[in-house]
Amino acid sequence: MIRCALFFSALLLGGLVRAEGGALQMVGQARLNVLFWPVYDSRLYSPDGSYSEATRPLRLEIEYLRDVAAQDLVANTRREWQRLGTGAAEQEQWLASLERLWPDVGENDVLALVVDGQDKSTFLLNGRTLGTIDDPAFGPRFLAIWLSPDTSRPELRLALLGRE
């Protein structure tokens, strides 16, 4: 019932969400499947419904379609950063922050990242603030997992950017 209400709310808003500084419009959305199993639906929002690396605020939402342990989320983030060659000295500090911030997620939970106009990165779970990472380098490096041309999931990137 709640899922249905959320769907109709999103439909009525026309793909709009609220963020600090006003409403954001959906840029694109995608579903990640691993083999035959759906893992999550993702949605990217910006002020005008388009994306560039400099766009702020920016919101990435991931709605999980299965249960995932926090340690697996952090391990996957580490793996993707290593694959992308993210060798930032801050990487271990960021991963430690994510270990503290992220809980286990369950089916239908929505984990969101909002990168604001000051490049602060705030994580939310089902609309509740989990915490903020103030390092301006974090947001772009985290978003690169999905939005970099070198992402491990280029089809997902294209869908998030509205270029399927």
Q: What is the pLDDT of residues 41-88, one digit of tens each?
A: 999 999 999 999 999 999 999 999 999 999 999 999 999 999 998 776
147 SS3 class: helix
Q: Residue 3: how many CB atoms within 10 A of its CB?
A: 10
What is the model's pTM?
A: 0.87
Both tokens of 34, joined, read 């691993």
What is the span of the domain harbouring residue 132? 2-160
Domain containing residue 59: CATH number: 3.50.70.10
For 115-156, write each residue's pLDDT tens digit.
Answer: 999 999 999 999 999 999 999 999 999 999 999 999 999 999
Q: Report the distance separating Cα 158 and Cα 156, nearest Å.
A: 5
Both tokens of 131, joined, read 């915490």
- If you search the block for the tokens 């992308």, which residue do you land on? 84
| Across 153-163, average pLDDT | 97
**How many domains in the chain?**
1
